Amino acid sequence: MTSKQPMTKDSPVGTAIIAAPPTIKDAPAVERALNRSKLYLLASWSLLYPEDDEFLEYVQCGEFVEDGRDAIDALSLVLDGIGGERAKRKLVLLRKQFDELEKVAASECVNWQLSDLQSEHRRVFSNVITLDCPPYETLFGNDHVFAQSQVMGDIAGFYRAFGVELSKDIHERLDHLSVEFEFMHFMAYKESYSRCHDGGDKTQIVLDAQKKFVKNHIGRWVPLFCRMLVKKADSGLYKHVADLMAEWMDFEVAFLGVVPQPYSETDYRPATFNAPEGQTYECGAQDQGNELSLLLNEVGAESFLDKKDQGKDKEDGGPVGTA
């Protein structure tokens, strides 16, 4: 489609042909991906230990809640029935959670200094790995340290497959929930870009990766973690962040059309190191538990892209990747 613009009488040509901006092939799908990306970023940022005033100021000025509401409202407009009534209902509940966060920001956080937010974070998450609500995936459902290593390797494989790595400025492990949520923020944003610029095959790869990561990772352990966090925080900012994350995970499971096998309280077993029968070890590694060095180079990106696994975990329903 072109646009014709009149020229002056003295112009050597009567009209100039101006190319119209390219049409986005599936604008609603792009909008859905962008707003999911935004909500993952908000959840990710809220869990990190606050090193400076940036996040606190973001909450105090009201932009954290405003950005969350805007993303939910935009998602509601372009949902197009994806995820059914469950997804639609979860968006309503998510908006209510942002209402609760607004009340907390106006009552408790309004006069906070950075040290107050840091103290609240330490109260809930501690300075060391706390076992009553640890924000680390490998502490869930893996009662042996070698099982933890295998899960950590799979997480690293996802990151490597899409060319991302942990920033040196973030002093956290690969399996910290903030890091995993930021990966999903990146993947949803990558989906929006792929729908605009790449073909359907590349878009489907990105979408399938999101489904696998929710089904095999965050969709399994985050619901239990949120219940533990609500109990530990009891009230205040992080209690409502936990409620928000729980509703968001329910939405994502419905939206993507995946069926994770979530952990229950009986599945939470911090890893131990048990020597084979008749053998003992004196190196002290037993005392380090989940801090043992992880052999991440044994499981790389190729494990995710292995042709044998392509199509193996495809789920029924959810959005499709045709651009």
Q: Is residue 321 part of a domain?
A: no
Q: Token match 């979530």: residue?
A: 262
pLDDT value, residue 128? 72
Q: Is residue 8 part of a domain?
A: no
pLDDT value, residue 227? 96
Q: Is residue 10 part of a domain?
A: no
Q: Is residue 174 part of a domain?
A: yes
Q: What's the one-letter identity of residue 292? A: L
Q: Is residue 9 part of a domain?
A: no
DSSP states of 259-309: ------GGG----B--PPTT----SSGGGGGGGSPP-GGGS-HHHHH-GGG
Distance CA 239, CA 321 (A): 35
Output the CA–CA distances (angstroms, integers) from residue 29 to 74, 166, 184, in the order listed.
11, 28, 16
Q: Is the pLDDT of residue 135 over 60?
A: yes
Name the residue with higher pLDDT: 211 or 142: 211
Residues of the domain holding 244: 20-309
Which CATH number characterizes residue 176's domain? 1.10.3480.10
Q: Is residue 323 part of a domain?
A: no
For 175-205, the pLDDT digits (tens) are 999 999 999 999 999 999 999 998 889 999 9
Q: Token match 């409502």: residue?
A: 240
The phi, psi pair for 61, rounded to 5°, reads -80, -10
Angle at 194 between CA 190 and CA 195, to 5 degrees: 120
Q: Is the pLDDT of residue 155 over 70?
A: yes
Q: Number of C-alpha atoms within 13 angstroms, CB side, residue 310?
A: 8
Q: Number of C-alpha atoms within 13 angstroms, CB side, residue 220?
A: 19
Angle at 245 between CA 242 and CA 247, to 5 degrees: 110
pLDDT value, residue 257? 97
Least confident stretch, 172-186, 220-234, 297-311? 297-311
Angle at 178 between CA 268 and CA 252, to 5 degrees: 80
Q: Is the pLDDT of residue 228 over 90?
A: yes
CB contact at 8 A, 304 and 161: yes
Distance CA 72, CA 81 (A): 15
What average pLDDT does the chain have? 81
Angle at 299 between CA 293 and CA 300, to 5 degrees: 115
Q: Which two tokens stand for residue 110?
A: 């309004």
Q: Is residue 274 part of a domain?
A: yes
Q: Is 201 exposed, middle or buried (0-12, 13-18, 19+ CB in 10 A)?
A: exposed
Least confident stretch, 2-16, 67-81, 184-198? 2-16
Q: Is the pLDDT of residue 120 over 50?
A: yes
CB contact at 8 A, 174 and 153: no
Query: What band does 140 get if pLDDT is binned at 50, 70 and 90?
Result: confident
Query: What band does 171 get if pLDDT is binned at 50, 70 and 90?
Result: confident
DSSP states of 42-111: HHHHHHS---SSHHHHHHHTTHHHHHHHHHHHHHHHH-TTTTHHHHHHHHHHHHHHHHHHHHHHHHTSTT
CB contact at 8 A, 242 and 230: yes
Closest of 177, 188, 107, 157 to residue 301, by C-alpha: 157
Q: Is residue 258 part of a domain?
A: yes
For 255-302, the pLDDT digits (tens) are 999 999 999 887 776 654 444 455 444 433 333 333 333 333 333 333
Q: Is the pLDDT of residue 168 over 50?
A: yes
Distance CA 232, CA 235 (A): 9
Span 2-16, average pLDDT:
41
Dihedral angle at the C-alpha atoms of 178, 186, 242, 233, nearest 10 degrees?
Answer: 20
Give the contacts of 265 (CB within 8 A, at least 6 positions apart).
224, 227
Query: How many domains does the structure of the chain reveal?
Result: 1
For 33-59, the pLDDT digits (tens) are 999 999 999 999 999 999 999 999 999
Q: Which two tokens stand for residue 37?
A: 């990306």
Q: Which two tokens stand for residue 146?
A: 């070698």
